Amino acid sequence: MSEELLYYTRSGKVECIHRGNIAVVDGKGRLQYSVGQAEKKMFWRSAAKPFQVLPLIERGGMETFSLTQQEVAIMTASHSGEPEHVQLIERLLAKLGFTTADLTCGSARPMSGKAAKELMCSNLPYQAVHNPCSGKHSGMLALAKLLGVSAENYAALEHPVQQHMLEAVSRAAGLESSMVETGIDGCGVPVFYLPLKHMAQAYAKLGKPVENDWQKSTAAVTVIRDAMLKYPQLVAGSGRLDTAIMQVTRGRILAKVGAEAVYCLALPADGLGVALKIDDGGNRPLAPVVLSLLKKMEWISASEFETLSDKFPFTQKNHRGDIIGTVEAVF
């Protein structure tokens, strides 16, 4: 069963407990470390995005559409809806021959509070392009065009775009497509239900493509990994954990969040992948759990941990700014 991962204290007393599961595996799926249930099944949510873009890249989409590394990075993103994200997606759609009206992800408030406030102050509505999944959806439209099929209903599971993505995601995780159950994600497309250890395996393979069984897809996987590591600001955004980890470690660690407190990491040099899930689905415990894991496993230096914990503090403050409690990892 799930184990206790994090305590929130107030005046030295435990006030809140967050439980969850962690799996660390190598590219062959061999378990290297775990907390709780490594076999726990969970929806992968947006942490599956690097593998959803794989069919487009491995079929020559980068060359066919003259895609840039920035455009590949935004297709893997859960972006914050900042102006650079929105403008990049609008240019990408125009290049592909689509418009924001073709996106079926739904309008959403930008994850960036600053970007949302700027829209409100300008009396502008939230649009689909502000949706954190609009880059992924742009990649889906690109794949439909590359396959020569209609983009109508591209979000449906039976559409060729989604069938290719299901196959790619399953292959990345070391599973047959028939073994991966699906649901509907927040942006309306299929989402994948599978064990945490298989999510971690996919990230281990993403981090070190050459040494794993990607075969003809090795070059495409390398393109995706390198784009994410080179443009971490596009993968998430200002003040976001994914971006901070990749920036502070200078690309030594690849990080990707999924909704409902799913989180994945790739460590290219070590050939390891990580997948974790906080049971309650809240975002609050994600940063302290992830940073505590990085420190515990000695994947980051003391100075890197200090820099990251300054951005994501292990203290609780009241509205006056007084420190009134701590955040403590207990795994």
Which pLDDT score is estimated for 235? 98
Q: What single-letter amino acid sits at 31? A: L
Over residues 158-170, the pLDDT tens digits come to: 999 999 999 999 9
Give residue 125's Cα distance to chain centre.
Answer: 26
Q: Give CA torsion, residues 212, 217, 219, 220, to 10 deg.
A: -120
Q: What single-letter amino acid sits at 190? A: P
Which pLDDT score is estimated for 320? 96
Q: For 68-87, what is the mean pLDDT?
A: 98
Rounded to the nearest 5°, which phi and psi values hold at 212?
-120, 175
Over residues 268-327, the pLDDT tens digits come to: 999 999 999 999 999 999 999 999 999 999 999 999 999 999 999 999 999 999 999 999
Query: Environment class of residue 99 by beta-carbon count within 10 Å: exposed (0-12), middle (13-18) or buried (19+)?
Result: exposed
Other C-beta atoms lying within 10 Å of the C-beta of residue 176: 10
> From residue 163, how far is each of 65, 175, 180, 201 by CA, in Å?
21, 15, 12, 21
Which pLDDT score is estimated for 166? 98
HSE, CB side, 13 Å, CA atoms: give it for residue 330.
Answer: 18
Judge whether 108 and 21 are in contact, CB under 8 Å.
Answer: no
Among 239, 232, 246, 251, smallest CA distance to 70 is for 232
Q: What does the alpha-carbon distance between residue 320 and residue 301 come to, in Å, rounded to a whole number? A: 32
In CATH terms, is domain 3-329 a member of 1.10.760? no
Q: What does the alpha-carbon distance between residue 121 and residue 113 come to, in Å, rounded to a whole number? A: 12
Query: pTM of the prediction?
Result: 0.97
String of DSSP letters for 188-201? SSEEEEEEHHHHHH
Annotated domain spans of the chain: 3-329
Judge whether 47 and 256 are in contact, CB under 8 Å.
Answer: yes
pLDDT of 98 higher than 90? yes
H helix or E strand, kind and range, residue 248: helix 241-248
Over residues 136-145, the pLDDT tens digits come to: 999 999 999 9
Over residues 51-70, the pLDDT tens digits come to: 999 999 999 999 999 999 99
String of DSSP letters for 134-180? HHHHHHHHHHHHHHT---TTTTSTTSHHHHHHHHHHHHHTT--GGG-
Residue 44 neighbours by CB under 8 Å, 6+ apart: 169, 191, 192, 193, 194, 199, 258, 262
Residue 12 neighbours by CB under 8 Å, 6+ apart: none
